[in-house]
Structure 1
Amino acid sequence: MTAQTQHPFSKFVAILGRGKTKQRHLTLEESREAMEMLLRGEAVPEQIGAFLMLLRLKEEAPSEIAGFAMGTQATFELPDDLPPVDIDWSSYAGKRIQLPWYMLSVLAMVNGGHSVLMHGTEGHTPGRVYTSEVLEYLGLPIAGSLDEAAAQIRENKFAYVPLEVMSPTLRDMINLRPVLGLRSPVHSFSRMLNPLNAKTVMVGIFHRGFMDIHAGAAQMMGMENMGVFRGEGGEVERRPNKPTQVWMTHGDDEPVVETWPQLLPDGHQPPDEEMDLKRLVDVWTGKEEDSYAMASITGTIAVTLRTMGKAGSMAEAEEMAQTIWAARDKGFLPLKA
């Protein structure tokens, strides 16, 4: 390509960077094409940085989130025989103020017979506890491929696959955060990847104003069930000391928006200064009782059940969640004693 020849990817940068009066959102088709080009290595570093930051400045549209996720899905090497997966659980934020109680929500759901695929990444923000660290502490495996994840789902109804296994290029793009100084759209659409085509997709976010974007993307992608809410630290974890607004979509139907009540009377929860993972084991086995942890765990299960269509109301979902937690096998999975 000569200096005078326009680079094929430059058209996408131009769409986003033409100024306030001429810039526009990428269409679903443009977004998908752009992401496929990025993942094939068909853009130069300058274009990647400009593209990501122009999107960040403009803020992503549902068509872009959906297109980027679909473009990434097209690159996955999927198993020939996909196992049935009930819940896709994204985990990309990490925890720094409270322990990752969502992990016990997931294990309780699995113990109750629901298959769960988790996916995420770690290390992009210092000082946080990520899912992979928790799994290693608990002695649970981390899949090295989607084939391996599928096999673990068949055997144990649970698997965790890192983003770098699904797409090393996306992991590299997320790791540009300290270089660019801001998060990129990769943090948003990675939560929507649903690599094994689960029936229900659970999404936790941190920033306000993104729930309608994720809901719109889920509609465009034809997701059977999707639930998104502002979770503690940005993870799929209900904050029991605050009301929680949940956006749910079912296919291309209009989103259902519900505000779940605050579960604890005291709205202030002090930060966990130690973040000792042993407490996860102690709460699971019943050795320790913690009202915040219990409310977070069962509250998260309730939102998930409601999103799945298993409960006809918030009250019914809360009751079912309590039953699932109470019925857990305290020796299920190789939890440390």
Structure 2
Amino acid sequence: MSLAAYVRILGRGQGRARSFTQDEAREAMTLMLRPDAAPQAVGAILMLMRMKGEIAEEIAGFAEAARADLPETAAPDLDWPCYAAGRTRGLPWFLLSALLVADQGYRVLLHGWNGADTAIRDGLGDLGIPVVTPDTAGEALDRRNIAYLPLEDMHPALFDLLTLRDVLGLRSCVNTVCRMLNPARAGASVQGVFHPSYRLLQADAAELLDLRNLTVIKGGGGEFERHPSKAMAGFGRRDGVFWDEVHPALIDETRRLADDAMTRDAVPALWRGQLDDPFAQAIVTGTAALAFATLGADDPTALADAAWAARRTDLAA
């Protein structure tokens, strides 16, 4: 079918329009990713889906189609998407959480795009986290247990769909698709959202994609980053079974993440022990504990605290 046929499915009018099945979504995204895809039809599909609200079958089908175009990449233990954009947030403390997980021998693949927010990309260099291509990811994971794969290098066609936000003026479901992409087919994934309703959507999509271990939280600025002074509701899967749990606050201090006036050099300083900030440390260990839990650790909180105490403070790449 042409893209026009998929536009009709979504937009034929009240009482006749419907959502895509998973197969239809996969077929539609396959066409949308082609260089000759009609831009008017692509925009119509994305905005019609935004108006009605996407469902898990559509997200799963889109993610399947997008992943089919990716080259094979060495499989990590943990998939860590980073796609928050468009909102002021604090420093990227969660990068230290990912480092902490890698420091314990787990292979962590971060991937993403954050629009005009350069804090995460700049933070990678500050922490010695290698930026890779699909061809070099395996070597970097072997060497450091951690790597970051930019979406624009990993999947240029999907990147073009994501950045249609600049043309359309609105977020589309591609943001969620990128979070569900799991480009190297890791067995576990951690995901942050800004809007809480997406936690269940992504958990349901994970079931359709046979992702057996997933944690989704409303995180700092939309990233997978725990706010330590607030109770946290987590959703996802554990060994293929739906999971949800509420975690109490970790610390009494009240502080907004986005109010942090520290400069970016505070992040590596905390890792090296040159900065004493219990709140920031609680962000790092609390987020790492959730990642360890997703990976199946027996006592993730104790592991995160012990890993922090025993971390290698050398940040050389």
Same fold (TM over 0.5): yes
Work out whether 1:38 is the aligned partner of 2:29: no
Give the gaps of 5 or more residues in structure 2.
none
For residues 303 and 138 of structure 1, what CA distance do their matches in structure 2 show?
21
Q: Paired residue for 1:163, among 124, 129, 151?
A: 151
Work out whether 1:317 is the aligned partner of 2:308: no
Partner of 1:4: none
Partner of 2:70: 76
Work out whether 1:284 is the aligned partner of 2:271: yes
Residue 129 of structure 1 deviates from its aligned partner by 3.7
Q: Paired residue for 1:256, among 230, 243, 252?
A: 243
Residue 130 of structure 1 deviates from its aligned partner by 4.0
Partner of 1:3: none
Partner of 1:67: 61
Residue 331 of structure 1 deviates from its aligned partner by 1.2
What do you get for the CA RMSD once the two structures are aligned? 1.8
Partner of 1:21: 15
Residue 332 of structure 1 deviates from its aligned partner by 4.3
SS of residue matched to 1:196: coil
Alignment of structure 1 residues 1-337 onto 2, 5 Å: 8-79=2-73, 82=74, 84-94=75-85, 96-123=88-115, 126=116, 128-143=117-132, 145-250=133-238, 252-253=240-241, 255-269=242-256, 271-272=258-259, 274=261, 276-311=263-298, 316-334=299-317
Farther off after superposition, 69-78 or 145-154: 145-154
Deviation per CA, 1:76-115, whole angstroms, max 9, x where unpaired?
A: 1215xx3x41101000115733110000001111111111
For residues 252 and 109 of structure 1, what CA distance do their matches in structure 2 show?
22
Residue 273 of structure 1 deviates from its aligned partner by 5.4
When residues 275 and 243 of structure 1 are mapped into structure 2, their CA distance, relative to the original with a 3 A threshold, is same
Contact 1:121–1:130 under 8 Å retained in 2: no
Contact 2:101–2:292 under 8 Å retained in 1: no
Contact 1:119–1:163 under 8 Å retained in 2: yes
Contact 2:190–2:215 under 8 Å retained in 1: yes
Query: What amino acid does structure 1 have at the position aligned with 2:21?
Result: T
Contact 1:219–1:251 under 8 Å retained in 2: no
Residue 171 of structure 1 deviates from its aligned partner by 1.2
Deviation per CA, 1:255-300, whole angstroms, max 9, x where unpaired?
A: 1100111122244436345451100111001111112211110110
**Aligned sequence identity (%):** 37
For residues 296 and 89 of structure 1, what CA distance do their matches in structure 2 show?
16
- The ranges of structure 1 where at least 4 consecutive aligned residues each deviate by more than 6 angstroms after the TM superposition are none
Residue 41 of structure 1 deviates from its aligned partner by 2.7
Farther off after superposition, 60-69 or 273-282: 273-282
Deviation per CA, 1:301-324, whole angstroms, max 9, x where unpaired?
A: 11111122213xxxx322221111
**Residue correspondences, number:** 316
TM-score w.r.t. the length of structure 2 is 0.94
SS of residue matched to 1:146: coil
For residues 191 and 158 of structure 2, what CA distance do their matches in structure 1 show?
18
When residues 251 and 219 of structure 1 are mapped into structure 2, their CA distance, relative to the original with a 3 A threshold, is farther
When residues 271 and 297 of structure 1 are mapped into structure 2, their CA distance, relative to the original with a 3 A threshold, is same
Contact 1:76–1:166 under 8 Å retained in 2: yes
TM-score w.r.t. the length of structure 1 is 0.89
For residues 196 and 274 of structure 1, what CA distance do their matches in structure 2 show?
36
Residue 159 of structure 1 deviates from its aligned partner by 1.2
Query: What amino acid does structure 1 have at the position aligned with 2:202?
Result: H
